[in-house]
Amino acid sequence: MQLLFIADPLESFKTTKDTTFSMMREAQRRGHTIAACEPQDVMWERGGPVTAHVRDIVLTGHADGWFSVRQERAVALAGFDAVLMRKDPPFDSEYFYATHLLEQAERDGARVFNKPRALRDHPEKLAIMEFPQFIGPTLVTRDARDIQRFHAEHRDIILKPLDGMGGMGIFRVGPDGLNLGSITETLNRGGAQSLMVQKFLPEISEGDKRVLIIGGKPVPYCLARIPQGSEVRGNLAAGGKGVARALTARDLEIANALGPILQSRGLLLAGVDVIGDYVTEINVTSPTCFQEIQQQTGCDVAALFVDALETAVDASIV
């Protein structure tokens, strides 16, 4: 297959832990060819197909200079067997516009993973509200009075922006309510922006588990991101320690319930975050943790992903 990865700049990849890199490495190992571009390289001109300025690359196997460029060219996205949207968040207006260009590319005949409409329809924090049976007490609002009421009921709460990533902008307010008003004003920008409020889950001390779902099926191991020191956030970007673990019975219950639904909507890969027994986010833009899980357990997550990708492409051709 000819694969196009739409991602962040290749030069910024940390190949010892980058999930997109592990996908590329497994794809090349199987004989697939790889091209890469960034979202700003995608273009649509009147009367023509959606195209991109891409670099055809080969992975060298070296830590330094991990790829070489065979050629640079402008090509229609429909000319690839699969287009993988792997741009990291934030999901800003440019990301939103990119999904529209990719959706037009689908009309041209391109096969895009994850499906552009599904990326738009599943904001990573809001998406959990569709599955109340799997989430803890949660409120989405921009009204400070609603937040005060929620705090009065649950006493120990987490507040976070809907468009945050990597643990950015997450606050905990305990029973004393210290700084609740100031934090609310910061996150809701004086009532202009919605935020999410959740009951604090003390099980975070045991880790914020990233449960990967590929092709509707759970990977048998998760990565528990464990907060360090006095930090409340387990995100690796916030200094959390990643520990791979086998899925619990509850993890499997959640993944087996959500997996077929997410797959049916065009989400080949999703990362469901679980604290204790509760889902806290459903990540669909650029889920990670492939390499950490493989390094600690031997489970080749990238191989599972490319298996699913090959199956999905074959099914779309039939």
How many CB atoms neighbour CB 222 within 10 A? 27
CA angle (55 as vertex; 50, 58 as ends), nearest 5: 135
Residues 189 and 238 in one domain: no
Tell me, what DSSP letter sits at residue 42? Answer: E
Predicted local confidence at residue 239, as pLDDT = 83
- Give the domain CATH number at 211: 3.30.470.20
Residue 99 maps to which CATH number? 3.40.50.20
Query: Is residue 307 in some structural domain?
Result: no
The CATH number covering residue 169 comes to: 3.30.1490.20
Are 33 and 56 within one domain?
Answer: yes
**CA gap 129, 111 in Å, rounded:** 29
Task: State whether 106 and 11 are in the same domain.
Answer: yes
- What pLDDT is stored for residue 298 in this prediction? 98
* Whether residues 6 and 81 fall in one domain: yes
The total number of structural domains that make up the chain: 3
Type of residue at 228: Q
Residue 306 lies in a domain: no
184 and 141 in a common domain: yes
- Backbone φ/ψ region at 315: left (φ over 0), alpha (ψ -120 to 50), beta: alpha
CA 144 to chain centre: 29
Identify the domain containing residue 57 by its residue range: 2-114
Domain-located, residue 120: no
Query: Do 58 and 106 sit in the same domain of this protein?
Result: yes
The reported pLDDT for the residue numbered 170 is: 93
Instruction: Encode burial over 81-90: b for 16+ CB neighbours within 10 A, e otherwise.
Output: bbbbbbbeee
Q: Which residues contact 201 (CB under 8 A, 6 or more apart)?
A: 136, 275, 276, 278, 280
pLDDT of residue 318: 57
Task: For residue 312, tell me if it sits in a domain.
Answer: no
Q: Are residues 160 and 180 in the same domain?
A: yes
Residues 176 and 193 in one domain: yes
Question: What is the residue-level pLDDT of the chain in tens, covering all 318 positions?
Answer: 999 999 999 999 999 999 999 999 999 999 999 999 999 999 999 999 999 999 999 999 998 899 999 999 999 999 999 999 999 988 889 999 999 999 999 999 999 999 999 999 999 999 999 999 999 999 999 999 999 999 999 999 999 999 887 778 899 999 999 999 999 999 999 999 999 999 999 999 999 999 999 999 999 999 999 998 878 877 877 788 999 999 999 999 999 999 999 999 999 999 999 999 999 999 999 999 999 999 999 999 999 999 999 999 999 875
CA distance 38 to 292: 25
Q: Does 311 fall in a domain?
A: no
Same domain for 100 and 151: no
Based on the fold, state whether residues 11 and 92 are members of the same structural domain: yes
The single-letter code of the amino acid at 1 is M
The residues carrying an active-site annotation are 125, 160, 210, 225, 233, 273, 281, 283
With respect to residue 121, please indicate whether it lies within any of the assigned structural domains.
no
Is position 107 within any domain?
yes
In this structure, the answer to whether residues 213 and 270 fall within a common structural domain is yes
194/211 same-domain check: no
Q: Does some domain include residue 123?
A: no
